[in-house]
Amino acid sequence: MSNLSISEENYLKAIFHLYKHGEGIGTNAIARHLDTKPASVTEMLKKLADKKLLTYEKYQGVVPTRKGFTLALGVIRKHRLWEYFLVEKLKLKWDEVHEIAEQLEHIQSDLLVEQLDAYLGFPKLDPHGDPIPDKDGKMCAMNCCCVSEIKPNSNARIFGVKNHTSAFLKHLEKLNLTIGKTFTLVNRNDFDQSVELVLNKQTMHISKEVAENILVEKLK
Amino acid sequence: MSNLSISEENYLKAIFHLYKHGEGIGTNAIARHLDTKPASVTEMLKKLADKKLLTYEKYQGVVPTRKGFTLALGVIRKHRLWEYFLVEKLKLKWDEVHEIAEQLEHIQSDLLVEQLDAYLGFPKLDPHGDPIPDKDGKMCAMNCCCVSEIKPNSNARIFGVKNHTSAFLKHLEKLNLTIGKTFTLVNRNDFDQSVELVLNKQTMHISKEVAENILVEKLK
DNA sequence: ATATTTTTTTAGGTGCGACTAAATTATATT
DNA sequence: AATATAATTTAGTCGCACCTAAAAAAATAT
Ligand SMILES: [Mn+2]
Ligand SMILES: [Mn+2]
Ligand SMILES: [Mn+2]
Ligand SMILES: [Mn+2]
């Protein structure tokens, strides 16, 4: 089987997350995402290309192959299952699990993953609203967008987050903006793209940065 | 805090397991235990000595310090808690968990370990009968010995195993020699040190190798 | 006490995954 | 089209954890 190092798995995951249909992914983008240097990325891309996990041509950016895609999904599946476990079973908070899942996602054992999935009752979403790929890499399609994309005078329910850092999640908690909450977006300020919304009859303001990282489903 | 690499943790664990009060542990013994070469061990011992995790003098063998001891116990605690989790919650078999726990024992998060311990109900023994150190490194004293050490005509209850390999555990399963079972040792053959015992009124023979790896508590 | 064997260390090297600095190619600007 | 800027690759190093072969020390046998 494909036995990948932790570094190789992290590169595949980054490439998966950066991939937009059609476009090749740049060395710089990968370096930024992994907090490493472009020179290191170039070397790794050559190695992953040798293993047929992506197609690489000098200066042309990179595109994952079917195989690379599948392996990335396997890592993401583990990440999200472990996050679900940590929150639902071990009672950690949603801002405490990402770092730990970054470690657990590299544990190698198909048996473990399948038993964990069954034990958790085959969950479809992780604690941040991200879909959990099943055994075959399939995951539920999502119909959601950022708060920064919805129009004034619309109702929305919080579906998930785009940023997984503890700092951001704690901030949301403090604002009472957690998954499942519904609100009305009343206004967007042209000046700084900040947003005014009403939650539980209380008016509140959130910055553009926060609005861009909250995912919602539009209501009615 | 002490941030150790996976290799460093494995060396500390090996040294802990090989340690017999007073005696220094030889480079060869550690190499054999970790399936590596003596030259590699020497290098690592110097590094661990620099970190004050053991005392090392050329050619004199090695003794763990208080700190090295404590860190090793932390890794062993995690290993055994995860094994317990895998058997009791995920329903893996006792011969399927050791290899996975070898990976899980290196996950770094104090919060995770304490929550896992609580979730499992603070278990005292792992699936192989080994004691699980608590938060402070304390573990229940054990009063057991190998089958190869008990006298003919004595009754005993199986308490645990010394060998954790899948091959050995599956063999025991087949012989119905699992934890909690009681038997009478009726004879030991001088020729090959094999042992004759009665379990559920059935007489059976086990080799010296098997007898050396089964731990029992003597009854009455 | 000397010679042999075993254990341990040293010396020198490898692959991996990172780095910096410099060179090269691609893209944008004028 | 020539030039400036940005992205990417190459070249050369480094630390870690391993290796083999050879040297040195300790333990054992004669
Ligand atoms: Mn996450
Ligand atoms: Mn998540
Ligand atoms: Mn084990
Ligand atoms: Mn065990």
pLDDT digit string, tens, across residues B75-116 = 999 999 999 999 999 999 999 999 999 999 999 999 999 999
What is the residue range of B154's domain?
A: 145-219
CB A83 within 8 A of CB A98: yes
CB A185 within 8 A of CB A152: yes
The per-residue pLDDT for range B210-220, each reduced to its tens digit, is 999 999 999 97
CB A41 within 8 A of CB A78: no
In the structure, what pLDDT confidence band is assigned to residue B21 with cuts at 50, 70 and 90? Answer: confident
Any domain includes A209 = yes
- The answer to whether the Cβ–Cβ distance between B104 and A108 falls below 8 Å is no
- Separation of alpha carbons A86 and A127, rounded Å: 9
Q: What's the rounded mean pLDDT across residues B6-10?
A: 98
- Separation of alpha carbons A167 and A53, rounded Å: 34
Any domain includes B54 = yes
Domain's final residue, options A26, A44, A64: A64
CATH number at residue A192: 2.30.30.90
Query: In angstroms, what is the span from residue B97 Cα to ligand 4's centroid?
Result: 8
Closest CA to A73 of A27, A23, A19: A19
How many domains are contained in chain A?
2
Would you call A176 an interface residue with chain B, using a CB distance cutoff of 8 Å?
Answer: no
Domain's final residue, options B64, B81, B108: B64
Q: Which of A151-172 are b and which e, b meaning 16 or more Cβ less than 10 Å from the residue's Cβ?
A: eeeebbebbbbebbeeebbebb
Any domain includes B203 = yes
Closest CA to A80 of A177, A19, A160, A171: A160
Q: How far is A132 from chain B (nearest CA, A)?
A: 19
Any domain includes B162 = yes
- The answer to whether the Cβ–Cβ distance between B119 and A86 falls below 8 Å is no
Query: In angstroms, what is the span from residue A80 Cα to ligand 1's centroid?
Result: 7
Any domain includes A128 = no
The alpha carbon of A49 is separated from its chain's Cα centroid by a whole number of angstroms, namely 24
At residue A217, φ and ψ (nearest 5 deg) are: -110, 135
Any domain includes B93 = no
Domain's final residue, options B64, B89, B110: B64
CB B120 within 8 A of CB B84: yes
The per-residue pLDDT for range B175-193, each reduced to its tens digit, is 999 999 999 999 999 999 9
The token duo for A167 is 């700092």
The per-residue pLDDT for range A36-80, each reduced to its tens digit, is 999 999 999 999 999 999 999 999 999 999 999 999 999 999 999
Residues found in chain A? 220
B67: which strand partners?
none
CATH number at residue A14: 1.10.10.10
Any domain includes A39 = yes
Any domain includes A109 = no
